[in-house]
Chain A
Amino acid sequence: MALAAPLVACDQAPPWHDIDVSGTSPSLSFTLRRAPDGKLVTQADMRGKIVMLYFGYTFCPDVCPLTLQNVNQALTRLGPAASEIRFLFVTVDPNRDSLNVLGQYMSLFGPNFVGLRGTPDQLARLAQRYRVAYSVTPPGNGHGYEVIHSAVIYVFDQSGAAKLLVPSMASQTPDIDGLAEDLQRLTRSHPTWLGKLEALV
C-alpha cells in the first residue's frame, strides 16, 4: 500500500489553470454562418484545431473587447503553436451584428478569431447545449438596448471533446499566463481514444 501511493501520484497529470470539464461537458457541435463570407460552418471544419467557444456581441463596451484582447495576449505567448487554435466568437446579438460588422470586428483581433452568426433558433439551441445564458432586450420603457451574456470560454481539443472552462478573461486579474500554459499543453497533447469517443457524444 505504501508503495502503491507514490506510483499513483506519479501517474497523475498536473492540474490545469482553468477548470477541467473533460467528460462532463458536451462536445463541440454547431452549425452557424461565418463572418464575413456567410459560409455555413460546423464542428467538422474545426477538426484538428484547439477550439475556444465564446458567446458575445460586437457592441459590448467592456467584457468582450477585454476578453478578446486578453486571449490574444495568451495566443501571442504561444508563438507558432497559436496557429493551431481557433477562437469562435458567436454573436448573441445577430440583429445588430451583421456578417460584415462581425467580420470587421474579428479582423481587429487577428486571424485566430472567427465570427459566427446564427438564426435565433440556432443560437438558442447552441447556448442551451453549453448552459450559456444571454438575453437581448430592445430599447423601451426608459432603457436602452440591453444585452446580457455569460463571459465563460469553453475549450475543446483537436477531436472536439470539451476539455476546459475558462471562467472569465475580463476580470480585474485575468490569468493570461495560465491560459497560455493550458493552451500550450493542449497543442502538445493528442486526443486519447476515450477523448475521441467523448467527442462523438
Chain B
Amino acid sequence: MNRRLTLLTTVLCLALAVAVPFNAATASDDVSGQNIYMHGSPEGAAPCAACHGLQARGRPGMEAPALAGRPVALLEERLTFFASGKGNAIMRIIAGKLTARERSAVARYVSGLPAAE
C-alpha cells in the first residue's frame, strides 16, 4: 500500500513538474512580440515598425533609432523607462500602453532580429 502511495505521489510530482513549466511557457507565448512590433497592441500602442522600420534598423530621416540585435535587457529597460512616463514624449505614450509582458515580448523579438552590418 505504502509503495503504491509513494508511486502515486511520484507520478503526481512528475506530472506537476512537467505541467508547471509548460503552462508558464504557454502563458508568455500568447503575447507575440512580432505582432506588437508589426501591428501594435490591443490596447492601442502604435506599431513599432512604423518608425523603427520593418527590420528594426531605423528609417533614414527619422529619429527612431535602429534596435535590431540590441540586448534584450537593454531594450526592456528602455521600454520600462518610457512606460514610467520618462524620456521621449511619443515613446512614453506607446510604451505606456504596453503591459510588462508585452514589453518583454517586444524586446525579445527585436533583439532577435539581425543587426545591420
The interface of chain A, by Cβ under 8 A from chain B, is 58-59, 61-62, 64-66, 68-70, 72-73, 76, 96, 104-105, 108-110, 144-145, 176
Check B44 against A70 for contact (C-beta < 8 Å). Answer: yes
The tally of CB-CB contacts under 8 A between chains A and B is: 48
A-B contact pairs, 24 of them (CB 8 A): A59-B59, A59-B62, A61-B51, A61-B64, A61-B90, A62-B90, A65-B47, A65-B50, A65-B51, A66-B46, A66-B90, A66-B93, A69-B44, A69-B45, A69-B46, A69-B47, A70-B44, A96-B61, A108-B38, A108-B40, A108-B47, A109-B39, A109-B47, A145-B61
Contact code string B50-78 (vs A, CB < 8 Å = 1, else 0): 11001000010111100000000000000
A61-B62, A108-B38 given; A176·B44 CB < 8 A: yes
Decide yes or no: A65 and B44 within 8 Å by CB, A59-B59, A59-B61, A108-B38 being known contacts: no
Cα separation A108 to B61 with both chains bound (whole Å) = 19
User: How near does chain A come to B102, taking the closest CB pair, in angstroms?
Assistant: 14
Residues from chain B with Cβ under 8 Å of A59 in the complex: 59, 61-62
Enumerate chain B interface residues (CB-CB to A < 8 A). Answer: 38-40, 42, 44-47, 49-51, 54, 59, 61-64, 89-90, 93
What is the interface of chain B mostly: helix, strand, loop, or mixed?
loop
Taking a contact as CB atoms under 8 Å apart, the answer to whether A69 and B40 are in contact is yes
A96 and B40 alpha carbons, distance in the complex (Å): 24
Residues of B within 8 A of A62 (CB): 89-90
In the complex, which residues of chain B have a beta carbon less than 8 angstroms from the beta carbon of A110?
Answer: 39
Give the chain A neighbours of B64 by CB distance below 8 A: 61
Known: A105-B50, A108-B39, A108-B47. 4 other contacts (CB 8 A): A61-B90, A66-B46, A66-B93, A109-B39
- On chain A, the residues within 8 Å of B89 by CB distance are 62
| Distance of A96 Cα from B60 Cα, bound (Å) | 10
- Chain B residue numbers with a CB within 8 Å of A66 are 46, 90, 93
A70 to B44, CA, bound (A): 6
Q: State in angstroms the CA–CA spacing of A62 and B64 once bound together.
A: 10
State A110–B38 Cα separation when bound (angstroms). Answer: 10
Query: Which residues of the partner chain A approach B40 to less than 8 Å between Cβ atoms?
Result: 69, 72, 108-109
Using CB atoms, name the residue of chain B closest to A76.
B42
Assembled-state Cα–Cα distance A65/B97 (Å): 14
A61: B residues at CB distance < 8 A: 51, 62-64, 90
Chain A residues within 8 Å of B44, by CB: 69-70, 72-73, 176
Kindly list chain B residues whose C-beta atoms are within 8 Å of the C-beta of A65.
46-47, 50-51, 90
A128 to chain B, nearest CB (A): 26
Residues of A within 8 A of B51 (CB): 61, 65
